[in-house]
Amino acid sequence: MKGLMSILAIALLCVSPAQARQALQTEAEALLSRSGAPAAGVARVTRSGDRAVAVAGVRALEETMPVQPGDLWHLGSNTKAMTATLAARLVEAGRIDWDTSLAEGLSGVGMDPAYASVTLADLLHHRSGLPANLGRLSVFHFLGTDESRDVAADRVRFAEIVLNQPPATERGAFLYSNAGYVIAALMLEQAADRPYEALMEDEVFTPLGMDSAGWGPPGEVGALDQPRGHAAGLFGGLAAREPDERADNPAVLNSAGWAHMALDDVLDFLQAHLAAEDGPYLSAESWARLHAPVGEEAYAMGWGVTPDGRLGHSGSNTMWMIRAQIDPERGMAAAAVVNEGRISQLAPVLGESLDHLLETGAD
């Protein structure tokens, strides 16, 4: 295996930068064709920081504006690994502990006694017993754009609703829960006495150089300044969605799946987890904690883990989709994105692009 990797490394050195860029562009165009999405993007980074991004397609159906390498993409549930990374920063700062319980870490929120012993780590591993989501009727309490809501107050109200529902499963059993990541964000902001969004800016986005990061559907209504998400149209097919309250889940779900950013900033985040350096940002112990799989489902904190140690996650709000993967053995990480969200159809297509990017080392 080491011999094979050496051969691959030598082969990569023989590829000119122009050839490498063209190879990545070819992969972006292939993803566009296979997916049928209006736009597609691929990106790859090495442990040492060598990186490249390529995009293809248009920002919106029935428009001619091409997607740009620096455009913003909605990350959906890939935000969860960022929330877990924030948690690690606050644990190292002594503001909270992985074993802090809801009873200890939440104030001013009543809860079913069954949740009192649930810990921050339980929430991030999806083993809290919380349901996957609020019921459909409850969601109507939180509709509106990020600007029109007091999102911190919404998290408290969300907690009051979900923590007074009976557990969906016993504590310790795996149940993928967006609700759990909302409660985790509330614990973090109460521990630090600062809103979750500000904490993410201070502790994750800024230190890792993720300058384009923001929340919700990217762009301005009425201006084709960013790619549009696409969903099923009234008469079938796909239709572009303006970036308003109909183009995303409620902002109270920020910590579970609401971030957007440019692909280059996605690579900043992936490289940090790929390098997992014992240093001023996080200790080796914290990186290991974030990446350690739990249970038969092998879910870490915001990452699924394969038997050979690759970390990965998919994200979609049904109008966008991303898949990202970190391969420590190869020393590479990659992401593939499209601006529509037919999940069952797109998941294998995005996975195929990731496999190709990581196996060939395309730049």
Superfamily of domain 17-363: DD-peptidase/beta-lactamase superfamily (3.40.710.10)
Kindly tell me if the per-residue pLDDT of 264 is higher than 50.
yes
* For the chain, domain boundaries: 17-363
Residues 295 and 174 sit within 8 Å (Cβ to Cβ) = yes
The candidate with the shortest Cα–Cα distance to 272, out of 252, 291, 300, is 291
Q: What is the tens place of the pLDDT at every residue in 95-154?
A: 999 999 999 999 999 999 999 999 999 999 999 999 999 876 667 677 766 666 889 999
As a whole number, the mean pLDDT across the chain is 92
**What is the predicted pLDDT for the residue at 13?**
42
The torsion defined by the Cα of 142, 134, 72 and 195, in degrees rounded to 10, comes to 60
Radius of gyration of the chain (CA): 20
